[in-house]
Chains A and B, each alone.
Chain A
Amino acid sequence: MNRSFVARNPSVLIFLALLALFTLGVTVLSEGFGVGMISTSFVKTLGKTLCLCLVAVAMDLIWGFAGILSLGHFAFFGLGGYMIGMWLMYERTRLIVVDALAQGSMPPTPQEVVDGIGNQIFGVVGSSEFPLVWAFADSLVLQLALVVAVPGLLALVFGWLAFRSRVTGVYLSILTQAMTLALALYLFQNDSGLRGNNGLSGLQNLPNVTASQDVVSMWFFWGSALALGSGYLLAAWVVSGKFGSVIRGIRDNEARVRFLGYSVEAYKLALFTLTACIAGIAGALYYPQAGIINPAEIAPIASIYLAVWVAIGGRGRLYGAVIGAAVVSLLSTWFTGGQAPDIPLGFYTVKWVDWWLVLLGLSFVGVTLFAPQGIGGLVDLISDRLRPDRHGADLGPDQGSLREKEAHK
């Protein structure tokens, strides 16, 4: 049993190799560093997709491996984006304000600079005072720490409250959904201190960077690829060891694991917090590429889509989450972007902008019913790793570990 980590997880090596190859390919084809076959906006789309893959990996950890269907992970994703967005916006506005004040007859006082920044940032919500949450916005290091700390802390507090009182299953799902709804509603107010429904904007411009967006977009692409690679490695390491066995045990039968003497709540809480931190990092990389973040991003529907990606990709396998997020989000972009050709039926023309969501919803039902293993299940066909025959009743990943006579159906 003392084989190396890589030997036990060959998929990690394959995944990292493919990711490196993909990154290299995009670099060579990009406008900033290569022959220019891929436009900068598409590089941004690919970079954003990598971030979505990372948050999908986090979702797979908590849902596919621990069986906790969190419908609130996009709240952590968005919080990460807000944290980095605050610094980006503050710093860029500061440079503009300092420049403008330098034109004056005398050097500005520190208070004048801060007032100027406040006016610029909060003018849209009719205020000029800096709220308390912006206390560290002038420091990149502190805001970067907050990218991990704020989602982590929220997850810790929420998870502690929820797991302690043994809220499980669908109840927990609804509770996490309520959490993200509460957060979104809170941020929608103008006096939340984060510019209400205007959100934070202009995030694609890095302060003190004069390089063109062609180049900057590649930096973010590499950053996202690196984050996805590291996140994947971390997730693979977490689920491969004893910790992984325990959380899989919790997924399959929580009571048994508890009776075996494990502190189920501590394991769940640790994993919940870890995934929230990963989601925060993914968000911090995503929103500078998107350029804008507003509270609509963390509405409950976003987190449900996250679950959709993971389910379509295949839960309980990390590459499944990546495949699901990449395929569905890119397809969504393609269909809703108006690029997909319309289908004329004679009496009615199917416009994909209108019908894509219907197709997605129905295909989602189809996947849940007929292919609980998701797209990742196709890998099993190749690798010959077939599940035991259930005589027709596929119980999905969580009850799949039950012995046949234990299963209800």
Chain B
Amino acid sequence: MIRVIAATLALLLTSFSVSAQDTTGAIQQVLQEHSAAILKSSRMTIGPAIDAVADSGLEQAQAVLQAWSDKNMWVREADGLFFRATEAEGGYSLTDFDTGEVVGVFDKDALDQIKPNSGIRALIGTALVQFQLKDPDPLRRQEALTSISRAPDPALLKPLRNSIEMETDPTLRAQKLRQERLLTIGYDADSDARVQAMADMSGDLSVDVRAALNPLVATRRAVVQGDVPEGTNVARILTPGSDALPRVEAYDMLVAADLAQPRVTNAAMRAALEANIADGRVGGVSVQQLGSDAVRRAAYIALADAGTVPPFISEETVQETLDGFTFYDAYADPSRQITDAANDALNAIKLKVGLNQAADLTLDALSLASIYFLAAIGLAITFGVMGVINMAHGEFIMMGAYTGYVVQQIVPNHTLSIIVAIPLAFAVTFAAGVAMERLVIRWLYNRPLETLLATFGISIALQQLAKNIFGTQARPLTAPAWLDGALTLNDVVSISYIRIAIFFLALFFLAVFLFIMKRTRLGLETRAVTQNPRMAASMGINPGRVNMLTFGLGSGIAGVAGVAIGLFAKVTSEMGSDYIVQSFMTVVVGGVGNIWGTLAGATMIGFLQKGIEWGNPSNTLAAQTYMIIFIIIFIQFRPRGIIALKGRAAGD
């Protein structure tokens, strides 16, 4: 009956469209042919209508689809013709799709808007892509490519291939070729073509290649009685009780597939016993005795034997049941050739990604090392050369960072403010260092442990002072815009420009340090005073002045380091204490009194920390713990650090 009605309807429609043929244009004809589907606007039946418009080869097809998708296509109720409608005075002005002529203004009541739902709009969007791919505007072509990469679809493969030939823009052409390969991997009907495409893309590091390959090798875990059915593309057979498939999990799979009785958990057993208590007894056991698992199990088995509760599943039963089944992982794709090729390609990519990650890690480690070196280089002067433990070193770093912050409040231009802040931070902390040396440290040269304590007193006072002045919240120290962003070598290896800048700053200070120590009078005098102050004094060197200047230099460098560190870390009153222990570690591990030692120490600690973090990525706290333990043990074997001073320079 229904069929008869449908046939009649179809016949009617055909005759209607035939009658309309004389008066309407080509695209209107196509629309009329599928008028029923278009008016019904159902995602299930709309496919042929969209395809018919898209494949009509008419130049208006794109405009129609666009109008349709934008909900600008209206139907005139009087004759069922479709028009593009725009709102106008007194109703809607209709435009003919074929001729582009305005037919006239009609009242809203005489019209019906075609409202495609989001599902249909997505289908239209896919159909539109082939037009966009050939659009004269490169921007539109780019948009189409982006939409393909976002939502790959088998239907897009053909239009994409067709559009490659006409592409004139080399960048877009490359992108199209690449996208074509990716779609081929996923959707081409010909297996050999897919395998070829995988081989072509196997050296590519981009995430989208992996995204295209991963679904092919996705596996589904399944269980079957007896042997694996023919024609299944098995990834591997699993043994229950192995790491990949614990026995509990295997048994649960059977239960989920209704192939076995559920195991009775302790909680279920308890609930079942509770439900069956009668007169203070259950399963022949007094409730008072149920305080142990063995008794409970016995009572439950008694209940099960009586048939009141599901049977108890013992370990032996579980094992027997498991023995009768085969567990395996199967690929969704039935073709072995495809999955093998995808696995090969993924392995090749994995190896390449691994190598690149190692490179990226090395860059990270190098950058961390340069931060540690920068934080420690001032200490290498005050502690390494002069032997003064300055616990307020971290607070000098903080003072430098706050100087940078204050300068940025006054000088709004970020580039200029950094240029001003660096020498100013040096000046401020140099002055602070000189003041501290003159007022406190010079009285304590004979009592190193007390230097430690006195400078610690200064450290807590400075920290609290900063808190009182700047408050407890973190203050921003913004890097200039040209330091924003990162140097990206490929999808895996990248490093931010700030870190590169810090690396070069560290190198610069290494050079400054070496120049001052080896090439200037101050350096010579410093080395003389450190080795033997009395001898130096008798040669006419003023040890007090030299100590003062050297200490000021070390403190000043700490201030500059503070500006650099403030650029990527937050500026707080406690930022100094974050670096102080690591800085001392760097100097001690490297070897006191030798700048190359400090460099080696910073490199070792930086690489070590990154290495540990890489091994245990979720837990940076643990990484720091292990690193400190490693350093404590390292000191056992090289108590004087990596590069130890020998002979007279060693002091004792």
Tell which of A22-30, A300-308, A323-331 binds the partner: A300-308
Give the contact-size bracket for chain A: 35 or more
Q: With a CB–CB cut-off of 8 A, which chain A residues contact B456?
A: 304, 307-308, 361, 364
Which residues of A60-79 have CB atoms within 8 Å of chain B's CB atoms? 67, 69
Cα–Cα distance between A308 and B288 once the two chains are bound (Å): 60
Partner of B453, one of A301, A355, A364: A364
**Interface assignment of B20: CB less than 8 Å from any CB of chain A:** no
Which residues of B450-467 have CB atoms within 8 Å of chain A's CB atoms? 450, 452-454, 456-465, 467
Sorted nearest first, the 10 A-B pairs with minimum C-beta distance are A361-B461, A364-B457, A107-B291, A357-B464, A182-B628, A106-B290, A361-B460, A368-B454, A361-B457, A186-B625
Partner of A368, one of B274, B453, B629: B453
Which residues of A280-327 have CB atoms within 8 Å of chain B's CB atoms? 300-301, 304, 307-308, 311
**Interface assignment of A396: CB less than 8 Å from any CB of chain B:** yes
Cα–Cα distance between A137 and B468 once the two chains are bound (Å): 44
Cα–Cα distance between A334 and B319 once the two chains are bound (Å): 69
Partner of B440, one of A111, A174, A183, A365: A365
**Interchain nearest-CB distance for B612 vs A (Å):** 12
Which residues of A344-369 have CB atoms within 8 Å of chain B's CB atoms? 354-355, 357-358, 360-365, 368-369
Contact A365 B458 (CB under 8 A): yes
**Interface assignment of A387: CB less than 8 Å from any CB of chain B:** no
Contact A186 B621 (CB under 8 A): yes
**Interface assignment of B581: CB less than 8 Å from any CB of chain A:** yes
Q: Which of B296, B457, B460 has the most CB of A within 10 A?
A: B457
Q: Which of B454, B462, B585, B629 has the most CB of A within 10 A?
A: B454
Q: List 19 A-B contacts (CB under 8 A).
A: A106-B287, A107-B289, A110-B292, A169-B449, A173-B452, A178-B631, A182-B632, A183-B625, A186-B625, A301-B577, A357-B460, A358-B461, A361-B462, A365-B440, A365-B461, A369-B443, A369-B444, A396-B450, A398-B447
Partner of A396, one of B289, B447, B624, B637: B447
Contact B632 A179 (CB under 8 A): yes
Cα–Cα distance between A286 and B110 once the two chains are bound (Å): 88
**Interchain nearest-CB distance for A352 vs B (Å):** 11
Tell which of A160-168, A238-246, A261-269 binds the partner: A160-168
Contact B454 A369 (CB under 8 A): yes
**Interface assignment of B419: CB less than 8 Å from any CB of chain A:** no
Given contacts A171-B588, A177-B581, A186-B622, A161 and B636 within 8 Å (CB-CB):
yes
Q: With a CB–CB cut-off of 8 A, which chain B residues contact A311?
A: 450, 453
CB-CB nearest in chain B for A63: B449
**Interchain nearest-CB distance for A61 vs B (Å):** 16
Contact B452 A361 (CB under 8 A): no
Partner of B628, one of A161, A181, A396: A181
Q: With a CB–CB cut-off of 8 A, which chain B residues contact A162?
A: 632, 635
Contact B632 A189 (CB under 8 A): no
Main secondary structure of the interface of B (DSSP, over half): helix
Q: With a CB–CB cut-off of 8 A, which chain A residues contact B457?
A: 308, 360-365, 368
Given contacts A368-B457, A369-B440, A161 and B633 within 8 Å (CB-CB):
yes
Digitize B267-282: 1 where CB-to-A-CB distance is under 8 Å, 0 elsewhere: 0001001100100000
Cα–Cα distance between A201 and B454 once the two chains are bound (Å): 35
Given contacts A181-B628, A182-B628, A361-B458, A69 and B635 within 8 Å (CB-CB):
no
CB-CB nearest in chain A for B443: A369
Given contacts A362-B461, A369-B444, A158 and B449 within 8 Å (CB-CB):
no
Given contacts A106-B291, A355-B464, A161 and B632 within 8 Å (CB-CB):
yes
Q: Which of A174, A179, A181 has the most CB of B within 10 A?
A: A174
Partner of A358, one of B274, B464, B631: B464
Cα–Cα distance between A179 and B270 once the two chains are bound (Å): 48
**Interface assignment of A175: CB less than 8 Å from any CB of chain B:** yes
**Interface assignment of A81: CB less than 8 Å from any CB of chain B:** no
**Interface assignment of A188: CB less than 8 Å from any CB of chain B:** yes
Q: Which of B289, B462, B581 has the most CB of A within 10 A?
A: B581
Q: Which of A166, A183, A185, A355 has the most CB of B within 10 A?
A: A185
Digitize A377-409: 1 where CB-to-B-CB distance is under 8 Å, 0 elsewhere: 000000000000000000110110000000111
Residues in B lying within 8 Å of A, measured CB to CB: 266, 270, 273-274, 277, 287-293, 296, 389, 440, 443-450, 452-454, 456-465, 467-468, 577, 581, 584-585, 588, 619, 621-622, 624-625, 628-629, 631-633, 635-637, 639
Other A-B pairs beyond A105-B274, A109-B293, 9, CB < 8 Å? A110-B291, A161-B633, A164-B636, A173-B389, A177-B581, A355-B464, A365-B454, A369-B440, A407-B446
Cα–Cα distance between A360 and B464 once the two chains are bound (Å): 10
Contact A173 B449 (CB under 8 A): yes
Contact B287 A399 (CB under 8 A): no
Cα–Cα distance between A396 and B446 once the two chains are bound (Å): 9
Q: With a CB–CB cut-off of 8 A, which chain B residues contact A357?
A: 460-461, 463-464
**Interface assignment of A151: CB less than 8 Å from any CB of chain B:** no
Given contacts A169-B448, A169-B449, A369-B444, A175 and B287 within 8 Å (CB-CB):
no
**Interface assignment of A170: CB less than 8 Å from any CB of chain B:** yes
Q: With a CB–CB cut-off of 8 A, which chain A residues contact B619?
A: 189, 191
**Interface assignment of A372: CB less than 8 Å from any CB of chain B:** yes
**Interface assignment of A108: CB less than 8 Å from any CB of chain B:** yes
Contact A409 B446 (CB under 8 A): yes
Partner of B446, one of A167, A183, A395: A395
Q: With a CB–CB cut-off of 8 A, which chain B residues contact A409?
A: 445-446
CB-CB nearest in chain A for B639: A165
Cα–Cα distance between A378 and B329 once the two chains are bound (Å): 82
CB-CB nearest in chain A for B631: A178
Cα–Cα distance between A360 and B637 once the two chains are bound (Å): 39
Cα–Cα distance between A407 and B447 once the two chains are bound (Å): 11
Q: With a CB–CB cut-off of 8 A, which chain A residues contact B622?
A: 185-186, 189
Q: Which of A106, A301, A354 has the most CB of B within 10 A?
A: A106
Partner of B621, one of A67, A107, A188: A188
Given contacts A185-B625, A399-B447, A167 and B639 within 8 Å (CB-CB):
yes
Q: With a CB–CB cut-off of 8 A, which chain A residues contact B293?
A: 109, 111
CB-CB nearest in chain B for A173: B452
CB-CB nearest in chain B for A160: B636
Q: With a CB–CB cut-off of 8 A, which chain B residues contact A361?
A: 456-462, 464
Cα–Cα distance between A183 and B621 once the two chains are bound (Å): 10
CB-CB nearest in chain B for A402: B446
**Interchain nearest-CB distance for B387 vs A (Å):** 8
CB-CB nearest in chain A for B641: A171
Which residues of A90-114 have CB atoms within 8 Å of chain B's CB atoms? 105-112
Contact A181 B274 (CB under 8 A): no
Cα–Cα distance between A109 and B274 once the two chains are bound (Å): 14
